[in-house]
Amino acid sequence: MADDIDARENLEDINEQPKAGEPKYDADNLQILKGLEAVRMRPAMYIGDTGSRGLHHLFTEVVDNSIDEHLAGYCTRIDVILCADNSVKVVDNGRGIPTDMHSEVGVSGVEVAMTMLHAGGKFGGGGYKVSGGLHGVGVSAVNALSEWCEVRVCRNETCYFQRYERGVPCEPLKEIGKAEATGTTTTYLADSEIFGEIVYHPEVFVSRLRELAYLNKGLSIAFTNEQAPEGEEKTRVFHYENGIAEFVEALNRNKNPLHKVVFFSGDRDETAAEVALQYNESYQENILTFANNIHTQEGGTHLSGFKTAITRVINNYARKNNLLKEKDPNLSGDDVREGLAAVISVKLLRPQFEGQTKTKLGNGEVDGVVNSIVGEGLSEFLEENPTAARRIIDKALTSHRAREAARRAADMVKRQSAMENASLPGKLADCIERDPAKCELFIVEGQSAGGNAKAGRNRRNQAILPLRGKILNVEKARMDKALENEEIKSLVAAIGTGITHSSMDNADDEDGQLDLEVTETAPVNGNENGNGKKNGNGATFDLSRLRYDRIIIMTDADVDGSHICTLLLTFFFRYMKPLVEDGHIYIAQPPFYRIKSGKDKIYYAKNDEERDAILRTISNKKDTMVTRFKGLGEMDAEDLADTTMDVDSRTIAQVHVEDLIEADDLFTVLLGDQVEPRKAFIEAHAKEVTNVDWHA
């Protein structure tokens, strides 16, 4: 035994000694981060990233504290101001952050909330019954990531003030005067050391604040943009007395509703649920889910309860009223949700979210609560409104027939895809590289442009798919018609993922953020494979089968080319939305002009301004020739390669979804059935149009 002890001691001595050339590793090597240092060192752990999304996430963390005051019954108004100096101010008329000294840490409640992670009134201390700020790092993380932050609290008829710089208090909380009302004002300037250039997008503020106003009926939320151009409206106020019922009305404003908005609400076991729904004549479902005001983009138990209830109730009603015969199969969930717009909002005491991002609700009890409330409410509505009920059932039956045809067409595409290259479209010029992360697909307008692209490409990793004419407008067609279109079948086969036609927010496939924003020469992501996602047609979208990491739309720089590009974006948004959400869709940026000076100097210009700037720099104007490209077919292969395809010299624009709700509405307005909304949109934005090709 003694020998064994000696051996262990010798081994421990050896382990404690650093090897030759290696630094000593002991307790002193363990770094202890104090206060908010951890947030500044690893900001992405707390706010997602340090890009535009993370920057805009800061204001939502501050606003969420004010929303919690509203949920507790104390706040009726919130003001959010984007200041001229790029600081952001959030003002509420709640109770105000507690200002008395905390007995354990010896500083004011304000300082505790602003400087300590996992501190606040949301951890069972009785401050809040319902709250979205589950992890307690919100406002303190904002403080840590700000160059400076100032808090003004009105409470107990006194105004208090404290300033912080990069999370560190400049002085203790102090009294600065008397107060007639209560509330908290938080002003911060995001730190350029963390975020780089600070550029705000007002539409992101508007989208989230409008959403919060819908979800909290009776609450007034104002957004003021002090940076707005002269003549533009600076302040917008959002206030909805009917809450999510008005939210659904807004979702369906351009989609020909089949009946009035239906609203149900109820409480069960410390969980409150509100549901509003309305069917329309479109072919898309649009279901948005929220838990404690947080947009649960991946759905969760509240969504599954809703889906189960609505499928059961509509099938029961259809059979009871002999609209479904005994031999007929039940309508599927996809059938009964076609053309459905709905908002589901639950508020619960102890929400269980998946991760800090809170994109999916996991509370098992919520499934039954929503199922019960929707089941009772929808059954009552159908019985009391037989005309609306018949319209809903007829739409579901028509959807079922079309979906069966679409399933057969999708199965055919899938069988063809299983044969790999042997089943790929004959007009596809595929690349040699087999690693999707290194490959890109150019979707090219016309055969002549396709020929030039094939000649100018890098055959190793660039594939070319020429399309003939304009693809079908899928906004006006059901899926069975879309899959009969030869160009769409070629696209689906070439891309390899299958198709999806799901809602904007469901348990299997969703995301959520007016418009599709493009950013120049966006960074290229790797091929982040995902799991198969069940879609609304029985087909399966499988991101892991994506054959090209970048799918680049390359059309002529004229009106027809823009129209084709828009039709393709509509197809991707409606049938392959995960490709858009994950940043796989790009738009090529071909030049308008080629400028040749002398024998060997060639310049390219995207617009008239660039052309004129180049011409001013050329000394020998007599030996200069300017060529205007009317289309990709007029460019030779070398021009096309140098300007639009060569990764070292091209500019491409990556497509992002910044606001899913507004993007959905914009596609409906621009490509849907109703003419008046489209006319109004064109009239409202006519002066903003640039680069119209008058030669088209």
Please report how many Cα atoms fall inside a 13 Å half-sphere around the Cα of residue 130, on the Cβ side: 19
> Rounded to whole angstroms, how far apart are CA atoms 553 and 588?
6
CB distance 245 to 345 below 8 Å: no
Instruction: Report the candidate in 378, 248, 195, 113 with the shortest Cα–Cα distance to residue 661.
Output: 248
Q: What are 91's two structure tokens?
A: 């003002």
Structure-token match 């105000």, residue found: 96
3-state secondary structure of 343: strand
Residue 473, number of CB atoms within 10 A of its CB: 15
The H or E element containing residue 366 is helix 364-384
Give the integer Cα–Cα distance in Å for 487 and 191: 49
The whole-angstrom separation of Cα 637 and Cα 646 is: 11
DSSP code for 385? -
d(CA 254, CA 251): 8
Residues 399, 332 contacting (CB under 8 angstroms): no
- Whether 394 is catalytic: no
Query: How far apart are the C-alpha atoms of 130 and 91, rounded to whole Å?
Result: 21
CA distances from 130 to 71, 77, 212, 359 (A): 7, 18, 15, 18
Determine whether 2 is exposed, middle or buried from the number of CB atoms within 10 Å of its CB (0-12, 13-18, 19+).
exposed
Residues whose CB falls within 8 Å of the CB of residue 307, separated by 6 or more in sequence, listed in order: 333, 337, 506, 507
Structure tokens at 390: 């018949």
What token pair was written down for 75?
């706040």
The amino acid present at 623, given as its one-letter code, is D
What are the backbone dihedrals phi and psi of residue 91, each rounded to the nearest 5 degrees, phi first?
Answer: -120, 135
Task: Give the residue carrying structure tokens 């005001």.
Answer: 293
Q: Which of 64, 367, 440, 445 is catalytic?
A: 445
- Is residue 13 part of the annotated active site? The answer reads no
Q: How far apart are the first and last CA of the chain?
A: 95
Question: In 563-685, which ranges are E strands?
Answer: 585-588, 593-597, 601-605, 624-628, 652-659
Residue 4 annotated in active site: no
Q: Which of 440, 508, 558, 665 is catalytic?
A: 558
- The verdict on whether 191 is a catalytic residue reads no
Would you tell me how many other CB atoms lie within 10 Å of the CB of residue 104? 7
Q: What amino acid is encoded at 222 in this protein?
A: A
Candidates 191, 338, 556, 665; catalytic one = 556
Catalytic residue among 150, 404, 515, 560: 560
The whole-angstrom distance between residue 87's C-alpha and the CA centroid of its chain comes to 24
Q: Are 399 and 373 in contact (CB under 8 A)?
A: no
Burial (CB < 10 A; 0-12, 13-18, 19+), residue 334, is buried
Distances from the Cα of 309 to the Cα of 87, 223, 367, 372, 508, angstroms: 46, 38, 10, 7, 17
Cα separation, 96 vs 103, in Å, equals 19
Residues with catalytic annotation? 445, 556, 558, 560
